[in-house]
Amino acid sequence: MTSPSEEDDDRARAASDRAGRTRRPTSGGLRLIVRTDGAARSNPGPAAAGAVLIDATLPGSRDPLATPLATISDYLGVQTNNVAEYTALVRALRLAVDLGSSEVHLLLDSKLIVEQLHGRWRVKDAKLRPLHTEARALLSGFARWTASHVPRAQNGAADALCNEAIDRALAGGPPSVVRRPDR
């Protein structure tokens, strides 16, 4: 008999396989520190997702001011803060896969997401379930992953990208800006 957590993991892997999103990166691939944030001005309100992906092999990579390898700044329209937080995580994980990462170390200021990813808290909100399922499916494609809660003050770069996205989109600019390394 499988536990509810194992059943969720199995469903996440199956959904990911059907979507063709998950691939097992080769060992020795890129190792990333990933900081994400979601923001909503009011709750719900104009919302955005921000993410900073940092090469974990560089000195000082865990410093909140470390130079990013890639960033995401996405306007999401009207959403709740928790939906914005999860969306930031999912988009960052997709980018990590695209960059060929084999390992991700998530440093998140959302205790809710960290606890739910580890299976210690249930995902009660129906709006968050598909995002949680996708996040778990994407994580299953990495050779190694960790998720740690950090104080909000250590996530300033991802938060700034959220505010940048909201301000940019409300001023008529592009809703999404993704900066990635030159190939």
Give the CATH number for residue 37: 3.30.420.10
- Return d(Cα 114, Cα 94) in angstroms, integer: 18
Checking if the pLDDT of 57 tops 90, the result is: yes
pLDDT of residue 182: 82
The number of distinct structural domains making up the chain is 1
Side by side, the strands of the sheet bearing 45-55 are: 144-149, 101-108, 30-40, 45-55, 70-79, 176-179
Mean pLDDT of 24-51: 88
- Note the pLDDT of residue 27: 53
- pLDDT exceeds 80 at position 66: yes
Of 75, 97, 99, 96, residue with least CA distance to 87: 75
**Structure confidence at residue 8 (pLDDT):** 43
pLDDT over 60 at 148, yes or no: yes
Burial of 163 (0-12, 13-18, 19+ CB in 10 A): middle
pLDDT in tens, 103-123: 999 999 999 999 999 999 999
Range of the domain at 111: 4-22+29-179
